[in-house]
Amino acid sequence: MPISGYEIQERIDHAKSAKAALLNMYSEVVTPFDACPYDPDKSYGECMKDCLRELIECDKIIFDKGWYESNGCRIEAEVARGCKIEMEML
């Protein structure tokens, strides 16, 4: 889910909504805000590390619309490819 460049509360709300919808199809759903709860003092790099640590434990990653415009999402896609994690692009 692209986060940078968006209003943070909108992204938090979007993540909650997406998680609720996906829980109808999957037993466990982790959003970027589950992996790295919002903290204005936490750096982008620290949040990416938290998200990548969580990602490597996942069976599948679902990319939200516009993911390809996000540096963080593209990094996550490369890690998922390298770790043979199933990917779905919306």
The answer to whether residue 69 is domain-embedded is: yes
Give the residue among 29, 38, 34, 44 at the shortest CA–CA distance from 75: 44
Give residue 18's pLDDT: 96
Give residue 90's pLDDT: 87
User: What would you report as the CA-atom Rg of the chain, rounded to the nearest whole angstrom?
Assistant: 12
Q: Which domain holds residue 80?
A: 8-89
Give residue 72's pLDDT: 96
Written as tens digits, the pLDDT of the chain (90 aa) is: 999 999 999 999 999 999 999 999 999 999 999 999 999 999 999 999 999 999 999 999 999 999 999 999 999 999 999 999 999 998
What's the rounded Cα separation, in Å, for the pair 22 and 7? 23
The answer to whether residue 2 is domain-embedded is: no
Tokens in use for 45? 């790099």
- Provide the number of structural domains found in the chain: 1
The answer to whether residue 31 is domain-embedded is: yes
What's the rounded Cα separation, in Å, for the pair 81 and 90? 17
Give residue 29's pLDDT: 97
Q: What's the pTM value of the predicted model, to 2 decimals?
A: 0.91
